[in-house]
Each structure stands twice: as structure tokens, then as C-alpha cells.
Homo-oligomer: A and B are copies of this chain.
Amino acid sequence: MRPQFLYEKNLHGVANSVKRKQEQYRKIVRHLYYNGAASIAEIVKAVKISQPLVASLVDDLISYGMLLDKGVGESIGGRRPNLFCLNSEYQYVIGVDINLHTLNLAVFDLSNKQIFREETKYFDLENSEEYLNSLIEKIETMISQLGMPREKYLAVGISLPGLVDAKQGLSHTHLSVAEEGLAHFLSDRLSMNVLLDNDARTMALGEKAFGKAIDKENVLCLNLSNGIGLGMILNGNLHSGKNGFAGEFGHILIDPEGKLCDCGKIGCLETLTSGKILVKNIREAVDKGQPTLLAKYKKENKKIDLRAVVEAILQGDQFAIDQLNQMCEYLGKGLVTLIHLLNPEMVIIGGKIAHAGKFVIDPVTMSMNKYAMSRISSETELVCSDLLDDSALMGTMANVMRSVLSLD
């Protein structure tokens, strides 16, 4: 019998006993994926199945090639255990991180190692058949480069900006051309399972699985790049809301007397604090002759972008730091609302601006102290992501594995 469970969840018309066995396999594989190599005894404790049964299930999985016997491990005061681990080469996951102007592709093995990685610049996201075709071509090229048969790929995980309905596999904002829904479209064309989610939520999954949110139950992940995205881990699970629209943090009201936002409302957080605004303000000031390290871009006739700004900040550019500080004051205000509502244990800042490290953390912390009820906010840790630009891509892997290994 082939272990189907990594492919299809609700096997229809299959005997109950088979389903039960697949669930047992899944528990074991799940434990080994999330906790690494383990002895039979350890697995027994973790999955709550008896030792003789676990032993026989592990034997099965080894015979399918899914698990490997790593030989004896360290003793903790008795007979040395035999350790077992996932065969990291049993299958692979394709990760696709779609950004407004770039595309990141990766192939992960089951130990989460990237065995392939490619960044394509100037791959501008647009809602067209052509974009989708070139995306598929990119993926197909990668597959043929790697030379492995299609069955070796467990699924394709995709991260993209905008409103995404993960349950239905729809992209509302950027790739709505695919009529059957983006996930189905790509699944048909690639002949693979496809899993979508919004970039901020994928980042949150990445942080929960591989970043600073490991072992935390209530964590907010901010994606601070040109816009502001929010991914929420609540009670240990990703929160998506009814339609997958949760996390529209950029459009909460901060200043009723403020500016008009793209969304039609006035005083949205995004009109006050976002990479876009930061860059815009700095460009305008540079045009007016503001002294700053960034002035050289004007001389060289190059455009100032967010990356340049962050670089200047890290070099200590006073003006850029001032601008960022101002932005962080507003961001802190917005965060306080989140913290009051959700009482998270940690807030992780990711996205391009996270590269500024303490230059973001410090002013945001100050702002939070000013605006928050201290009893609540003092329970919340504010940190920068250490996955940084990789978090969304890592998140696609986490999303696929979560989906495949989820129980019930």
C-alpha cells in the first residue's frame, strides 16, 4: 500500500480501517517533521499510540521510503535508542513568493532545506494571462532543471499580496483573471496541488514554524514594506476571518482629520505610515534640497527606493532616521489598538523595513509606551523578524506542511 495521506485528505469510499491507519501514519510523520529525529519510545509518548503499534507503523513507513533509520542515538541511562527521521528527499515542496516587482522561487526538501533558490527582479505583478503564463514557465523551467519526476513534488505553496481567500484559493486583488480561481488554475496547469495565501499571513506562518513565533500561541506579524500587512496567529492558529480578509491593518482609522487613502476612506493608518509614504516624503525633501546621504541618488539621477532608505538609516543618516521615527509614532498608535484588542504575547516586524532593526523597534516601543495601557502592553514583546526577506517563502513551506500534516 502506498501512503496516500500526504496527497489526499478525505479519501472517499475508502475503508475506515485504512483512514485510521493513515491518520496514525500522519501523526508519526507529523511528529518527526516538527521535532526531528526520534526514538520509538519518544514517538509513543508524543502520538499516544502503543509501542508495538508505533514500531510496526514505523517499519511500514521505512519500507515506503518515507522514513530513515538513523541508527543508535545517545542513551539517557539505559539501552541506546534507535533513531528515526523523515527521509528529507522523499518529497519536495515548491515555494513561490510573489511580490509586486519580484518573484522568489524555491524548492524545499522535507528538512526545510532550500535545494533550489531563485530571485527574479523586475517581475512585475499584473492581473493578466501573460503574467500567469510566465509564472508557470518559470516554475516549469525550474522543475526540468532539477530533473525530478512530478510525483516528487508534494505541493506548490504560494504567497501573494492583496486580498486572498485561502480556503477557496482565490486572489481578489492581483490575480483574479484565472476564472476557476487562481489555485485551481495553477493546479490544472502544473498538475500539482496548489496552496495559496496572502503574503502577511504566509509570513506569520513562516514565523510560527521557523522564526521567533515558535512555541508562541498569540503572535502578530507585521509586514512592513511599501504597504502594511498583518498576519495573526491566535490561539496557536492562523486567523483568516470569514472570507480570508482578516488583517487589513493598513486601513484602520488613525486620524479622522487625515489624508484621503487609496481605499476611499480618510485617515487610514497606511496614509501615515508605510514604506511608500516614507519614500515619498524623503524624495520630496531631497528635491527641496534636504541634506541627507540620500541626496546622492538625485545627483546620480537614480530613484530613491525603500531599500536605499533603509540602507541610509543603517548608516546613521539623521534625516532618514527622523522620518522613520515619525512614521513609527503612528505605527505604534495603530499597534496599540491591536494589542488592546488581541493581547498577543509577541509582535514581530517583518518586511523590508525590518532590516532597520532597532531603528524601528525603539521608536515603535516608545510610541506604544505612550499610547497603551501598560498592564496590557507590558505583556507584549516587540521584535524584528530574523527570517527577514525569507519569511514569506519559508511560510509557503510551512503552509503546505501544515495543510498536509494537520490532524482531522
Contact = CB atoms under 8 A, between A and B. Distances in A.
Interface string A229-272: 01000110101111111111101111111000001110000000
Interface stretch (A65-73, A207-215, A373-381): A373-381
A344 B253 contact: no
A253 B218 contact: no
B340 A249 contact: yes
A172 B246 CA distance: 30
Contacts of A285: none
A390 interface: no
A336 interface: yes
Nearest to A256: B255
A239 B342 contact: yes
A225 interface: no
A311 interface: no
Contacts of A218: 241-242
A241 to B, nearest CB: 3
A337 interface: yes
| Interface residues on chain A, size class | 35 or more
Interface in A380-403: 380
A174 interface: no
A371 interface: yes
Nearest to A340: B248
Interface string A359-374: 0000000000001110
A345 interface: yes
Given A235-B235, A256-B255, A344 B245 contact: no
Nearest to A370: B265
A244 to B, nearest CB: 7
Given A239-B235, A245-B379, A251 B340 contact: yes
- Give the copy number: 2
A176 interface: no
A246 B342 contact: yes
A337 B242 contact: no
A241 B343 contact: yes
A337 B252 contact: yes
A263 B333 CA distance: 15
A376 B340 CA distance: 22
Nearest to A172: B375
A256 B349 CA distance: 24
A252 B341 contact: yes
B379 A253 contact: no
B379 A344 contact: no
Nearest to A333: B253
A247 B252 CA distance: 17
A338 interface: yes
A163 interface: yes
B375 A163 contact: yes
Nearest to A230: B341
A241 B376 CA distance: 10
A217 interface: yes
Contacts of A371: 253, 265
Contacts of A249: 340-341
A376 B245 contact: yes
Contacts of A257: 257
A244 B253 CA distance: 25
A235 B240 CA distance: 8
A235 B218 CA distance: 13
Given A264-B373, A265-B373, 17 more contacts: A163-B375, A217-B242, A234-B239, A240-B343, A242-B343, A242-B379, A243-B376, A245-B343, A246-B341, A246-B342, A248-B376, A249-B341, A252-B340, A254-B256, A255-B256, A265-B372, A337-B337
Interface of A: 163, 172, 217-218, 230, 234-235, 237, 239-249, 251-257, 263-265, 333, 336-338, 340-345, 371-373, 375-376, 379-380
